[in-house]
């Protein structure tokens, strides 16, 4: 199979971690008989330095021409970098917002996985962390409160602000279909999270999700109110498989879920449109303070590449091999500094990439 992948190394540690993910992907291609074509794209601060803007039309065109996009990290030190003396629309993060809009990326996937070897990093009680968990949070990315009409005004001498939460049935249906499709690749359970006891938008959300569920008789659907879900994530995270929810709830719950893993350097993410196309990136930032020092943890980017194989190319066997390599490296006791524990062997970013690639079978 021929895979055309656009790479956005980005800023800070981005080039380092993307290089290691490419190393792993190239090993996958060799072992499984694929051909991978990589096209590098400038975005964020790297694009500002060359083109004066965080995202060019040419970069968008190159991304659209690819089958998927693998990205490192965007941005720099907001205090010292000259990028942050520019107007907001010309700063690095504007490039990220721009490419998400240009590629119509409406479905955000944030896995939260607690590996047995990293259980001591979990802030939850031992009897909870011992059970482990593997959660996929599916967040609607382009609708809801963040994109509704808003205004601030004065009425009767009082400052008043209004934000509007709007969803139509098509926006709900397309994210629900993605959620059920992904559940079929996992443990076949969807927990749809809403606030249907209060909000009309949530009542519509629940109704449309139930309509979609009728087409997936092999997938179990349950509904959960968002406040209960927040509680359950710290009480019994192992109960969840796919959490399907709207934009604001997903923003909050995905951050909560990521923290209970205890290690941001292990967290992948993906943003998908209504085809198989997706943009895959680690959840962490650009860490400019350690850029170029060969100490960054590339595992989140490697796991993002695994998601790319699974969801954009439907290569489950190859994705399983990458996931297994990560687990084996951790089992063998190798750690970058951010996840180092007593008795383990500390390695740098490049060496970690080598170790992961060696274990692709």
- Statement to judge: residues 98 and 24 lie in one domain: yes
Read off the tokens for 47. 């694009």
pLDDT category at 258 given cuts 50, 70, 90 is confident
Q: What is the DSSP string of 315-345?
A: -HHHHHHHHHHHHHHHHTTEE-GGG--TTPE
- Statement to judge: residues 188 and 215 lie in one domain: yes
- 64 a catalytic residue: no
- Statement to judge: residues 96 and 184 lie in one domain: no
List 146, 189, 294, 354, catalytic entry: 146
- Statement to judge: residues 184 and 297 lie in one domain: no
In a domain, 118, yes or no: no
Give the residue carrying structure tokens 């990589």.
38
In a domain, 35, yes or no: yes
- Statement to judge: residues 227 and 351 lie in one domain: no
Which of 235, 261, 287 is the last residue before a domain boundary? 261
For the stretch 31-87, pLDDT in tens is: 999 999 999 999 999 999 999 999 999 999 999 999 999 999 999 999 999 999 999
For the stretch 277-310, pLDDT in tens is: 999 999 888 999 999 999 999 999 999 999 999 9
- Statement to judge: residues 16 and 144 lie in one domain: no
- Statement to judge: residues 73 and 148 lie in one domain: no
List 23, 178, 195, 334, catalytic entry: 195
- 188 a catalytic residue: no
In a domain, 39, yes or no: yes
For residue 118, what pLDDT is reported? 87
Rounding to the nearest 10 degrees, give the CA dihedral for residues 253, 258, 264, 266. Answer: -130
- 314 a catalytic residue: no
Closest CA to 301 of 25, 67, 117: 25
Domain enclosing residue 288, as ranges? 1-109+274-361
List 178, 251, 280, 334, catalytic entry: 251
CB neighbour list of residue 257: distance below 8 Å, 6 or more residues apart: 110, 112, 135, 137, 233, 237, 243
Q: Where are the alpha helices (DSSP H) in the chain?
A: 14-32, 45-51, 57-65, 92-102, 126-129, 169-184, 200-213, 226-235, 247-261, 299-311, 316-331, 349-358
Q: Is the pLDDT of residue 212 over 80?
A: yes
pTM, two decimals, is 0.89
- Statement to judge: residues 280 and 246 lie in one domain: no
Backbone angles phi, psi at 23, to 5 degrees: -60, -45
- 189 a catalytic residue: no
For the stretch 113-152, pLDDT in tens is: 998 888 888 889 988 888 889 999 999 998 999 889 999 9
Q: Which CATH number fits the domain that encloses residue 19?
A: 3.40.718.10
For a pLDDT cut of 70, what percent of the chain falls above it?
100
- Statement to judge: residues 77 and 206 lie in one domain: no
- Statement to judge: residues 1 and 101 lie in one domain: yes
In a domain, 251, yes or no: yes
In a domain, 268, yes or no: no
Give 29: exposed, middle or buried? Use CB within 10 Å, 0-12, 13-18, 19+. Answer: middle
How far is Cα 195 from Cα 178, in angstroms, rounded to an integer?
21
- 167 a catalytic residue: no
Q: What's the structural domain count of the chain? A: 2
SS3 assignment, position 36: strand
- Statement to judge: residues 283 and 330 lie in one domain: yes
């Amino acid at each position: 199979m021929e895979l055309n992948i656009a790479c956005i190394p980005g800023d800070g540690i981005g080039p380092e971690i993307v290089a290691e993910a490419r190393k792993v992907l190239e090993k996958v291609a060799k072992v499984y008989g694929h051909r991978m074509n990589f096209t590098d794209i400038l975005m964020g601060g790297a694009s500002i330095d060359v083109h004066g803007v965080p995202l060019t039309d040419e970069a968008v065109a190159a991304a659209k021409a690819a089958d998927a996009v693998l990205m490192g990290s965007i941005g720099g030190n907001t205090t010292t970098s000259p990028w942050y003396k520019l107007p907001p629309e010309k700063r690095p993060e504007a490039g990220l917002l721009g490419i998400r809009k240009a590629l119509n990326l409406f479905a955000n996937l944030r896995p939260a996985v607690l590996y047995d070897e990293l259980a001591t990093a979990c802030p939850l009680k031992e009897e909870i962390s011992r059970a482990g968990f593997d959660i996929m949070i599916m967040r609607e990315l382009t609708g809801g409160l963040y994109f509704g009409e808003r205004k601030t005004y004065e009425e009767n001498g009082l400052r008043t602000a209004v934000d509007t939460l709007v969803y139509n049935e098509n926006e709900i249906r397309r994210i629900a279909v993605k959620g059920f499709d992904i559940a079929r690749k996992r443990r076949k359970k969807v927990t749809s999270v809403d606030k249907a006891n209060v909000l009309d938008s949530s009542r519509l959300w629940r109704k449309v999700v139930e309509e979609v569920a009728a087409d997936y008789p092999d997938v179990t659907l349950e509904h959960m109110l968002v406040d209960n879900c927040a509680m359950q994530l710290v009480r019994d995270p192992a109960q969840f498989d796919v959490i399907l929810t709207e934009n604001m709830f997903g923003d909050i719950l995905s951050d909560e879920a990521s923290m209970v893993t205890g290690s941001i350097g292990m967290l992948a993410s993906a943003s998908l449109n209504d085809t198989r196309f997706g943009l895959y990136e680690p959840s962490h930032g650009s860490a400019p303070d350690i850029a170029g020092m060969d100490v960054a943890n590339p595992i989140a980017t490697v796991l993002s590449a695994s998601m790319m194989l699974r969801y954009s190319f439907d290569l489950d066997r190859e994705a399983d091999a990458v996931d297994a390599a990560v687990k084996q490296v951790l089992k063998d006791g190798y750690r970058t500094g951010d996840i180092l524990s007593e008795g383990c062997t500390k390695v740098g970013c490049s060496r970690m990439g080598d170790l992961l690639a060696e274990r692709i079978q």
